[in-house]
Chain A
Amino acid sequence: DTEVTQTPKHLVMGMTNKKSLKCEQHMGHRAMYWYKQKAKKPPELMFVYSYEKLSINESVPSRFSPECPNSSLLNLHLHALQPEDSALYLCASSQEGGRIETQYFGPGTRLLVL
């Protein structure tokens, strides 16, 4: 099983709302990632968790708050977002975060901020 699941598939939220994106994998992977992808652009890394600890934060605004409650689950908490934050949010996981490891991507959550 090489599946990464993400919920919800679509999300519409206002600028004052608080919402969360959820990502789950049951492959025993210890590294998990959040990417943001704008239309017609490549994915851009936001956060990396390695062994449930935040190891990379790509200077993401504090209105995005990641959380890794356990090795299988990764959340992204959203608060006071801006319309320019509308994008496809992709989650990925890999065995341990090594250089030659494959990152397995979920289908993404398409977020629209009004």
Chain B
Amino acid sequence: AQSVTQLGSHVSVSEGALVLLRCNYSSSVPPYLFWYVQYPNQGLQLLLKYTSAATLVKGINGFEAEFKKSETSFHLTKPSAHMSDAAEYFCAVTLTQGGSEKLVFGKGTKLTVNP
């Protein structure tokens, strides 16, 4: 069954430093993977998604992620953190059930950006 594991429930970086949020997947079929961001008291916003077209995926706000099949990973990176990047980040995979698709989320990583 498809699932994702996010390593590190909290990540803290300095403003201007590299952001690296880790996500590993488990899937018996080609996975479709997503990164969502949630700001406090808000819904989820899609950052980027992998749908097998290209292994390096660029998203909004300067984020990108690389799909590595050999490592079963889909880590999220940003070269230079901004204060506005402080939020909760969720990795997700789609799972087929009853003819419909559902998103299964990782436990989330809270990103703190220090001035």
Contacts and interface: CB of A to CB of B under 8 A. Distances in A.
- A, B from the same assembly: yes
Contact of B94 (A41, A99, A105): A99
Given A42-B107, A108-B42, A100 B100 contact: no
Interface in B58-113: 90, 94, 96-108
B43 A42 contact: no
A62 interface: no
Classify chain A: how many residues form its interface, as a range. Answer: 20 to 34
Query: Helix, strand, loop or mixed for chain B's interface?
Result: strand
A106 B21 CA distance: 24
A31 interface: yes
B90 A56 contact: no
A43 interface: yes
Interface residues of B, number: 26
A99 B95 CA distance: 8
Q: Which of B49, B97, B100 has the most CB of A within 10 A?
A: B100
A90 interface: yes
Interface string A41-72: 11101001010000110000000000000000
B108 A56 contact: no
Contact of A56 (B43, B46, B49, B97): B97
Interface of A: 4, 31, 33, 40-43, 45, 48, 50, 55-56, 90, 92, 97-108, 110
